[in-house]
């Protein structure tokens, strides 16, 4: 395992464990000079010509004009390293581990085996580095709707993931927020956030827990929660999974992207209210959310969806629009979100 061997600094009482922002792609060279950079997420099928192990390329077309990157920053200089046993590049501080792995799928017999090996590698890396609790995970998977061995590839992915996670202690209790989106890339990409202490699983009262979906959705349950709530020393974070137009476990408003957007926002509102009721969050409306990612199956829908989102949330919530396949054929979009609440009392 290689690393830059910076000593890990303890988080002070007034520092956030990390910050996320969307910034213009033209600023990449300057961003990469920052000593406290955890990671930079680049979107698009054309890879950046700059090599840096902190750059993660998500091969989904960005639909926004201008070009954006997602920037993760730490409050102190992170240790940058490579876990050669798991093939995982990572950045870490004393409180968080931010890592990713990617590989050509033809190295495996299929997506089930690739998912199994990937999650084994992630869990083993967490154990070796001392961050045993996942908080959030993103899965970008090639060609998720194609059948493979008589099984849709997304369902095969769910099976491989489940087979690893079910071996962990208190498996269902510690299910975390997740996103799974289909790409046209040849590589499978997974990136994740882990910590030394667990978060709290949060569900949506309007929806059946994905873990308890009927068998017809996958031979093994989709293993994620609707959100993860994490209390840090001076902040509470809510990491919201990719959320779609599903009530109970059924897709709503088939073929209508605007109606699906409205139903998705209803689900996000119900989730936020549940976190507020059960855990005392002060968030009241969706306008308080931080960066959103909006995934659209059809790029042609993005202008009308963006206008409707602006009508509902206003201009204050930053949103990135990306084109990719949603986990069900009849879902046209999904939205993931992030929320930070300060625990510092100003006197």
Kindly list the catalytic residues: 334
CA–CA dist 17, 89 (Å, integer)? 19
Length of the chain: 347
How large is the C-alpha radius of gyration of the chain? 19
Contacts of 73 (CB under 8 A, 6+ apart): 18, 19, 20, 21, 34, 36, 37, 38
End-to-end CA distance of the chain: 46
Q: What is the largest CA-CA distance in the chain?
A: 63
* 3-class SS letters over 217-283: HCCCCCCCECEEEEECCCEEEEEEEEECCEEECEECCCCCHHHHHHHHHHHHHHHHHHHHHHHCCCC
């Amino acid at each position: 395992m290689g690393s830059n061997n910076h000593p890990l600094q303890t988080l002070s009482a007034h520092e956030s464990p990390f910050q996320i922002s969307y910034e213009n792609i033209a600023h990449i060279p300057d961003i990469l000079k920052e000593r406290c950079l955890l990671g930079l997420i680049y979107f698009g099928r054309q890879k950046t010509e700059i090599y840096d192990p902190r750059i993660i390329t998500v091969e989904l077309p960005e639909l926004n004009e201008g070009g954006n990157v997602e920037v993760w920053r730490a409050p102190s200089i992170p240790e940058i390293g490579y876990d050669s046993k798991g093939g995982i590049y990572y950045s870490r501080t004393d409180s968080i581990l931010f890592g990713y792995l990617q590989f050509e799928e033809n190295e495996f017999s299929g997506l089930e085996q690739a998912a199994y090996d990937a999650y084994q590698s992630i869990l083993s890396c967490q154990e070796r580095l001392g961050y045993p609790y996942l908080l959030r995970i993103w899965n970008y998977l090639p060609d998720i709707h194609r059948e493979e061995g008589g099984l849709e590839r997304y369902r095969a992915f769910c099976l491989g993931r489940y087979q690893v996670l079910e071996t962990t202690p208190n498996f269902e209790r510690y299910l975390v927020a997740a996103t799974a989106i289909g790409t046209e890339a040849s590589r499978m990409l997974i990136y994740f956030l882990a910590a030394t202490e667990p978060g709290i699983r949060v569900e949506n009262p309007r929806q059946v827990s994905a873990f308890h979906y009927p068998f017809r959705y996958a031979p093994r349950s989709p293993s994620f929660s609707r959100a993860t709530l994490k209390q840090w020393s001076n902040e509470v974070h809510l990491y919201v999974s990719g959320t779609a137009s599903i009530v109970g476990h059924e897709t709503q408003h088939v073929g209508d992207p605007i109606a699906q957007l409205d139903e998705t926002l209803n689900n996000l509102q119900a989730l936020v209210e549940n976190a507020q009721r059960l855990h005392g969050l002060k968030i009241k409306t969706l306008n308080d959310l931080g960066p959103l990612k909006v995934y659209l199956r059809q790029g042609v829908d993005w202008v009308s969806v963006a206008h409707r989102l602006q009508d509902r949330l206003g201009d204050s919530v930053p949103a990135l629009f990306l084109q990719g396949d949603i986990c069900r054929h009849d879902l046209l979009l999904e939205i993931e979100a992030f929320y930070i609440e300060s625990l510092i009392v100003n006197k």
